[in-house]
Structure 1
């Protein structure tokens, strides 16, 4: 006689998915605001309106939660689609405009994730590895953009590697954070300033 399959309730699974999403959202907000070291699982549970045991059962430990936040950030970054559109552009100015616009959107929409990971770097056992995992696709996209710029006229007055490093300096998370957080610029103003700098330097 065949063993009956366990019944899986779609409604229960949907509710569990919503709970996981809420826990990750609240944890991201707390990590970004207070810093990873100053947040406990109990804090996350309270912010999400659930019991601490629900956090452990649904997502895991505090370290597991940060891992999930990184994975979610990578999944939602959508660099591949943005890069494909950028590689169709045929002038340096249009490429740089696309980079400024696209990286602004990514950094603005993922700002809390960036802050959560950045503040975990000094205290998390694998903080640097998490940051590298989170930014690898980002850096690869900017390297591809640099190679594309060197196929256009006029080409940048640097090597491809130097151009890629400059794009990371301007359009990577630190460049955006410097303008928006440290200098108090709006995201729109930061986009304008970074674009002008890149166009002037690479012209």
Structure 2
């Protein structure tokens, strides 16, 4: 009986520690996004999370380790590259772009806090900058794969090659396009998705070379 009691208490402590860590991560994310990574101290995070500074360090390590833990949790689950398989089943430009716009919108909205976090920290943290560069590289490659499919189908303007199509997709659906409308202009994701999809179709059908 005493041994069972110890195991029960141990499991309860582990569960409590996991919840404390989760609370700390969520608090830190909110503070980093609101005030900027460089402006937030571990003391700020501890006070906002309602834990002792000693507990904070024991749970997540240093400030840099805390940031890396957030990035690992938030970015690792992105499914941007999986869009290719969905768009591949589309046989005309309008349906392919509609599918692409909706898939990217889903990722962009789902990972909005991650994108904000990277924006607030990548100028002062090399790891955050590396993660951002990795995300952009993967994103652009996914769009290039889709551009290759659209060119092969013959649904874009004849003067557009894979690079030209990929560049236009990036202009329409790159991270800055969504942030400009949603964050800077206050648009809804629904309106942004519709506008960017129409813009992409118009640019890819435009018969005049740029």
CA contact (8 A) 2:75 2:111 kept: no
Unpaired runs of 5+ residues, structure 2, are 1-6, 206-210
Higher helix share: 2
The number of residues matched between the two structures is: 198
Alignment of 1:19-58 (within 5 A): 19-58=20-59
| Alignment counterpart, residue 171 of structure 1, candidates 165, 170, 173 | 173
Hey, what's the Cα distance between the residues in 1 that align with 2:52 and 2:135?
29
Q: Normalising by structure 1, what TM-score?
A: 0.85
Hey, what's the Cα distance between the residues in 2 that align with 1:77 and 1:49?
31
CA deviations on 1:54-90 (whole Å, 9 max, x unpaired) are 2222222111122122222222212344432222222
CA deviations on 1:119-175 (whole Å, 9 max, x unpaired) are 213222444213113333322222222222222232354221222222222212111
Q: Which has the larger radius of gyration?
A: 2
**Aligned Cα root-mean-square deviation (Å):** 2.3
The residue that corresponds to 2:72 in the other structure is 71
Cα distance change, pair 53–190 in 1 and its aligned pair in 2 (3 A) = same
Q: After the TM superposition, which of the residue ranges 164-173 and 119-128 deviates more from structure 2?
A: 119-128
TM superposition shift of 1:35? 0.8
TM superposition shift of 1:8? 10
TM superposition shift of 1:37? 0.9
Unpaired runs of 5+ residues, structure 1, are 1-5
Which structure has more relative contact order (CA 8 Å, sep 6+)? It is 1
The residue that corresponds to 2:4 in the other structure is none
